[in-house]
Structure 1
């Protein structure tokens, strides 16, 4: 017979559930929007939100919407550094095996943020700064992350962020993006075909079972990153994603 969690533990679980729901909504939402996403009674949601506001993990805006609070910023910064350190050896191994730059990125609101990067040794290379944010619809890591989300959430996030054309090859319509996401789901990896920067191709893959959506990638100039490279990169990314997944879930 399963043991019921203590009330205090249950309250913590519920509080974190609300924080995750706010994050999934793009960082802010209304009380009614939260109530629609959880079976918790409205008085319970309101009580938990008051507690979270009181300790600075949530803030109530002038328009009565609830947003993630400033005290979460440092937690996020530390968590991102630790994630980058955990993934560092895996990213380094990808660079050693394939000779191009590797990255790790995490869903952050309605965009992705790069949390780990190891540059190629080539003088002409991709060099993405840790902490840089990118759109979901035109980056390899962004599209890989979209492929593991449900369609409703994809539409909401991309609509919030917009679909600016970074290059003439960027996808700029929801219908085009959904077709691309379906292709990624079928083949298991995403390709950025000069959609974020002309002359650069990127292969990316979502980390399976990650506690928050994230992806790993390898990128370089199109002159070096062609079909032969893809044949080597895809299985290497699969191994790297599985290694990071195991580390995150404690199954190493």
Structure 2
């Protein structure tokens, strides 16, 4: 533990010198014996946390990676906190998903015992035609990208309400107005209705979605309207986290 603390003090000391510092200078400022400082500096350089140029020490690439990772984690936490707030205020489970590298990815789900999420009984990535999340993401793609996705993940019946073939799905998607919420009723899972709101930031297709038991379907449209209102209020912070 003592070595770790001394290494951290050295990193903090180096960070205070934009133009680099010598080993003797770092030892003096960090209050660490010079032989110990040399040993720790060699280790930190070897691991990439520091680099040495002309006898001066600077922060290395590994520190930048730690900073980037920390920023990503903060963005994830921001999205998770936002979804939890909406879950509690609207009283429904809330989902955040993206279309990335040709795949449907559910990035975050916020549910509770009172508002449980839909059980993923069939792979969400392969059944985008059947659930509101997938339909919403596909609706934001161009025709070529949609057909490419369906060539890899063709329509298959999951329930008696599921759209029947690729062409029928493409026609449905083409009828959707830009940024219109997508509603799906028991197409993915019997007894469940869902709605998804599109979010497009730059070239990234994303969505926030909700689900409800079919016996409470009358609450779906009011709930999705509230979700749209919340998204409008928080779109700025969501945009910063869209690529988490």
The question of a shared fold, defined as TM-score above 0.5 by the shorter chain, is answered with: yes
Aligned residue for 1:197? 189
> Contact (CA 8 Å) 1:95, 1:119: kept in 2 or not?
yes
Task: Report the Cα offset of residue 153 of structure 1.
Answer: 1.2
> Are 2:238 and 1:238 equivalent residues in the alignment?
no
Cα shift at 1:89: 2.4
The CA deviation at 1:237 is 2.3
Which position in structure 1 is the counterpart of 2:95? 103
Q: Please state if 1:149 is matched with 2:172.
A: no
Please tell me whether the aligned partners of residues 83 and 115 of structure 1 are also in contact (alpha carbons under 8 angstroms). no
Change over 3 Å in CA distance of 1:83–1:223 after alignment to 2: farther
2:159 pairs with 1:167: yes
For 1:249 and 1:147, how far apart are their aligned partners in 2? 19
Q: 1:186 to 1:206 in 2, by over 3 A?
A: closer
Equivalence map 1:86-235=2 (5 Å): 86-122=78-114, 126=118, 133-185=125-177, 188-209=180-201, 211-226=203-218, 229-235=219-225
Spell out, residue by residue over 1:149-178, the C-alpha distance to the aligned partner (whole angstroms, 9 max, x if none): 111211111111111222221113122112
Check conservation: 1:91, 1:103, Cα contact below 8 A: yes
Cα pair 1:189 1:205 within 8 Å, conserved: yes
CA displacement at 1:240 relative to structure 2: 3.6
Supply the distance in 1 between the matched residues of 2:184 and 2:158 (Cα, whole angstroms): 12
TM normalised by structure 2 equals 0.60
Based on CA coordinates, which of the two structures has the bigger radius of gyration?
2
Structure 1 residues 97 and 104, CA gap change in structure 2 (3 angstroms)? same
SS in 2 for 1:202: strand
5+ residue gaps, structure 2, are: 1-68
- Runs of 4+ aligned residues of structure 1 deviating over 6 Å after TM superposition are 77-80
RMSD over aligned CA atoms reads: 3.2
TM-score, normalised via structure 1 length: 0.58
Name structure 1 gaps, 5 residues minimum. Answer: 1-76
Count of paired positions: 172
Structure 1 214/134 Cα, relative in aligned 2: closer, same or farther at 3 Å?
farther
- 2:44 paired residue number: none
